[in-house]
Amino acid sequence: MKMKSIFNKKTLIAIATIGTLSFQSCLDDGDNYAVRFPNALVTVKTDADQTVFLQLDDKTTLLPTNMTKSPYGEKEVRALINYKEVDEPGDIYTQAV
């Protein structure tokens, strides 16, 4: 006579599923912006002096403070971005972001 196993295949799958779904991340870095959604569609451009800027609309230009050169070279590309205004001067541009 076969000895019946205490845990059959379905029971083991159920235990494994419940076990993996019950684990939670312990990371609590206090960053409320863990998931950032784009809030603008811009055109990435370079100026005559190779300064990278973002064209938001016909009148609004954004100067990114965290970029020194365009990652796309001389090409103009469209990009979805999440930006926030900063307290730095924007020089000839509408806003520094």
Query: Is 25 within the bounds of a domain?
Result: no
Residue 84: inside a domain? yes
Residues composing the chain: 97
Task: Provide the residue range defining the domain that includes 66.
Answer: 40-96
Considering the domain boundaries, does residue 33 fall inside one? no
Q: Is residue 69 part of a domain?
A: yes
Q: Which residues contact 60 (CB under 8 A, 6 or more apart)?
A: 94, 95
Confidence of residue 1 (pLDDT cuts 50, 70, 90): very low
pLDDT, position 68: 83
Q: Judging by DSSP bridges, how do beta strands 95-96 and 52-55 pair with one another?
A: unpaired
End-to-end CA, the chain: 76
In a domain, 88, yes or no: yes
Alpha carbon distance 42, 57 (integer Å): 8
pLDDT tens digit string along 66-85?
Answer: 888 888 888 999 999 998 88
Residue 34 identity: A
Residue 42: burial class (beta carbons within 10 Å; 0-12, 13-18, 19+): buried
Indicate whether 22 belongs to any domain. no
Tally the domains of the chain. 1
Residue 53 has pLDDT above 90, yes or no: yes
